Each structure stands twice: as C-alpha cells, then as structure tokens.
C-alpha cells in the first residue's frame, strides 16, 4: 500500500500509525533517504493493501474508521484527495486493509507460473522482500531468488532441485508467506517472535531450482516439438513424467557439483534420462551454474537443500563438516521428528560441494515419505514438520 508524505512526516510516524515495525518500513523503502523525506513522496507500507468502499447515506470518516477498527488518521492518509467533510453517497474511498491471510495457496500442483505469480504478489504486499533473477533454465525460464532480512548471518534454502519433488517449492513458498505475515502482524510462530530473526539473518530462498523439469512433470512436454520429442524419447517413449527428476536435458542437477563428481559418474547412467545422469562434466547445466554462482556471491553461513522423501536430514560429507553441524542437525531433528544421518555413499550434491569448499554446515532435508511425487494429502503434515526446520535454520 502506498501513501504520500506530508510536512513533518517520518518513517517512525508511519510505523506508529500502521503498527508496523520500523525496520520493515525502512527496508520497504530502501530507495529513499529516511532523513530527507520530501512532501508528496511515495512511501510503501508493507502488509497492507487498499480496498474500495462506496459511501453510504449517513457515513462519516469517523464512523467508517470506528466501524472498521481503523485509525482516523490512517483513513485520511489513504484518501489524500477526499474532503472528509463533503462525502457523497456512492463516492468511492480507499480503506487501508491489513493482510492477515496467506497469498500463497501451496496445497495445489505448484508449477513455474505459480511460483513466479506468487513471488511477485508477495513482493508487492511485502516490499521488504527482494527478488533477484540468478540465471536461466535450459528453456530460458528465469530462476528467482527471494531475499528477506537485514542481518549479517546469511542463510540459504532451496527446493525442487529434482523435478518430481516440486512439493518442496509449495512448502517453502507457504513458509515464506507465513514468515512475512508473522513479521507484519507481530504474531509469534510457535512462540517465537520473528522480528529478531529478521534483524539477525538474511535468508536467501531459491524456491524452484529446476523450473523446466517441474513443468515437465506437472504439465507434460514443452510446446516446442523438438524438445517434446526429445524428452519423450529419453523417457522410453512414455508421456508419464511422474518419475522424472532431471532437468529438461536429462541431467540430474543434484549430481552436478564438483564434490567427488567422478565417483558419482562411475556408478550412474552414462546417458541422459529421467534421473541420475550426472552430465558430461560438473556444472555443465545452466541451473547448476546459477546455484554455484549464487553461493559464491552470497557467501552463506549455512545451506539447506529441501528434497523428498524419507524424513531424514543428511548433514555430513567426507568428515569435512564443522562440529557445529551436528548441533544444528540435532535441533532440526528435535523440531521436525526427522532422523539426522551423517552421510551415505553419495557424491556431487549441492550440500556436499558446499561443505567441501566452505567447510560450513550444509544439509539435505528429505521431506515426507512414500514415492515421489508425494501426494498433496501429505502437504499439511510436511508443512508442520518443515516449519520447525525453517525457523531453526534462522535461530541456530
């Protein structure tokens, strides 16, 4: 929601007027000088939208504010061109409406168009949430990163490295939405106030690493005939892509990182296909390159890659992980009920590479249980299990 500066206004004043924490107001208006507000300048108020209201007989600004539990001053500020003493029946005015509901409806097939639509809507309502494009998929889809927080501790979460694990994207986007709601409404989550987390951390979230693959699983082959014929051929002639993990070129993106990649190559398929083909070389695929470049650029303190399934959390790689990894993963296990597992005979994954090159905590979190793609009937249970990990990743 936008309002316009009047003489004597300050960001602190808006914080008090709309009951929104000052850091969220400041971070929603990073393009302005807070000590040099100009009359008429536009200010964004996070967590609010305006709603049209048609004036009825007997209405007054005071009465409307009272009936809607609004501050009279707030009502006046979103109607700068309305004379409050000359309301006319049928006239349309704006009501400031605090958002208390989810924008993201994650309990549905969640493809690339949905993640992009929801990301833009979240950023519109919560302008302290920033969005960057970190690269492109094989088919040219932009891969978004959502950034939230102002702290020096940089944390990273990602989902949908594997195409038929798209439910991870739906869960992460829902969790992000609930984090924004908690911040703007000052409601704790599981007893935790979230503003301190916001001030202490900066969370980077790449909700869908593999957009081409997710769309293939959910929507079928691309419209481009060449690509459609190719993926059907790689899928043994079948148009059922529910078992497809790879990107559109048939490369498993979580086998793309230079962390004993050769060992993974030696035991996996030698040709592109629905799963487990490691590619011609490490970081051959644009999606993996985008993730590697982002990780180098952001210099994360820890990373969590969300996959399905198994209800386990992998936290080691070749004994290169720091001692704090075990402390962190034990907390993840406590709040989720998932089992910490130090390592399995697996190489070339994103968290493996992160642990190897940074010697910092990295985790692969396997959500839910069953056969991928997991059914949406598991969404609510997975959400509750993952909520604790989402929070613990910030406060640990």
Q: What is the largest CA-CA distance in the chain?
A: 80
Catalytic residue chosen out of the listed positions 314, 347, 350, 383: 347
pLDDT of residue 114: 98
Residue 192 DSSP symbol:
B
Q: Which member of 145, 321, 331, 366 is catalytic?
A: 366
Could you tell me which CATH class the domain 112-213+282-395 is placed in?
alpha beta
**For each of the chain's 396 residues, which pLDDT tens digit applies?**
999 999 999 999 999 999 999 999 999 999 998 888 999 999 999 999 999 999 999 999 999 999 988 899 999 999 999 999 999 999 999 999 999 999 999 999 999 999 999 999 999 999 999 999 999 999 999 999 999 999 999 999 999 999 999 999 999 999 999 999 999 999 999 999 999 999 999 999 999 999 999 999 999 999 999 999 999 999 999 999 999 999 999 999 999 999 999 999 999 999 999 999 999 999 999 999 999 999 999 999 999 999 999 999 999 999 999 999 999 999 999 999 999 999 888 899 999 999 999 999 999 999 999 999 999 999 999 999 999 999 999 999
- State the pLDDT at residue 216: 98
| Of 218, 167, 111, the residue nearest 385 (C-alpha) | 167
**Cα–Cα separations (whole angstroms), residue 5 to 13, 37, 77:** 11, 7, 9
| Class of 2-98 in CATH | alpha beta
Specify whether the CB–CB gap between 132 and 110 falls below 8 A.
no
Instruction: Verify whether residue 366 is a known catalytic residue.
Output: yes
Quick one: which of 313, 361, 355 has its CA closest to 333? Answer: 313
Bridge partners of 363?
A: 304
160: left (phi over 0), alpha (psi -120 to 50) or beta: left
| Stated length of the chain | 396
* Closest by CA position to 146, among listed 165, 129, 167: 129
Spatial CA neighbour of 198 closest among 9, 17, 20: 20
Q: Are 183 and 238 spatial neighbours (Cβ–Cβ below 8 Å)?
A: no
Per the annotation, the verdict on 347 as an active-site residue is: yes
What's the pLDDT score for residue 141?
A: 98
What are the structure tokens assigned to 238, written together?
Answer: 């079948």
- Domain spans of the chain? 2-98, 112-213+282-395
pLDDT of residue 344: 85
* 249 alpha carbon, distance to own chain's centre: 25
């Amino acid at each position: 929601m936008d309002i316009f500066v009047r003489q004597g206004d300050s960001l602190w004043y808006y914080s008090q007027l709309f009951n929104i924490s000052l850091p969220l107001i400041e971070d929603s208006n990073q393009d302005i000088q807070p000590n040099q507000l100009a009359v008429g300048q536009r200010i964004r108020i996070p967590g609010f939208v305006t709603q049209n209201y048609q004036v009825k007989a007997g209405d007054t600004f005071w009465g409307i504010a009272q009936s809607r539990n609004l501050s009279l001053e707030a009502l006046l500020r979103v109607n700068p061109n309305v004379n409050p003493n000359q309301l006319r029946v049928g006239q349309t005015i704006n009501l400031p409406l605090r958002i208390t509901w989810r924008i993201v409806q994650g309990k549905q097939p969640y493809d690339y168009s949905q993640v992009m639509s929801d990301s833009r809507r979240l950023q519109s309502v919560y302008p302290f949430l920033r969005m960057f494009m970190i690269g492109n998929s094989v088919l040219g889809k932009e891969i978004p990163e959502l950034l939230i927080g102002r702290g020096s501790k940089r944390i990273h979460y990602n989902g949908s490295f594997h195409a038929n694990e798209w439910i991870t994207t739906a869960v992460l986007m829902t969790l992000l939405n609930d984090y924004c709601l908690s911040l703007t409404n000052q409601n704790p989550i599981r007893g935790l106030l979230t503003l301190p987390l916001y001030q202490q951390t900066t969370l980077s979230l790449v909700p869908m690493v593999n957009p081409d693959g997710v769309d293939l699983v959910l929507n079928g082959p691309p419209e481009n005939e060449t690509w459609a014929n190719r993926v059907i051929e790689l899928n043994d002639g079948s148009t059922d892509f529910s078992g497809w993990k790879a990107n559109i070129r048939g490369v498993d993106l979580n086998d793309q990182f230079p962390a004993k990649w050769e060992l993974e190559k030696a035991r996996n398929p030698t040709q592109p296909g629905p799963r487990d083909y490691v590619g011609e070389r490490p970081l051959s695929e644009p999606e993996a390159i985008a993730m590697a470049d982002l990780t180098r650029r952001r210099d994360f303190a820890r990373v969590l890659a969300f996959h399905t399934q198994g209800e386990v959390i992998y936290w080691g790689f070749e004994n290169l992980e720091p001692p704090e990894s075990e402390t962190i993963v034990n907390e993840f296990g406590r709040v989720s009920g998932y089992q910490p597992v130090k390592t399995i005979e697996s190489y070339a994954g994103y968290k493996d590479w992160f642990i190897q090159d940074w010697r910092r905590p990295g985790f692969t979190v396997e959500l839910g249980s069953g056969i991928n793609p997991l059914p949406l009937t598991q969404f609510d249970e997975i959400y509750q299990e993952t909520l604790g990990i989402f929070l613990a990743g910030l406060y640990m």
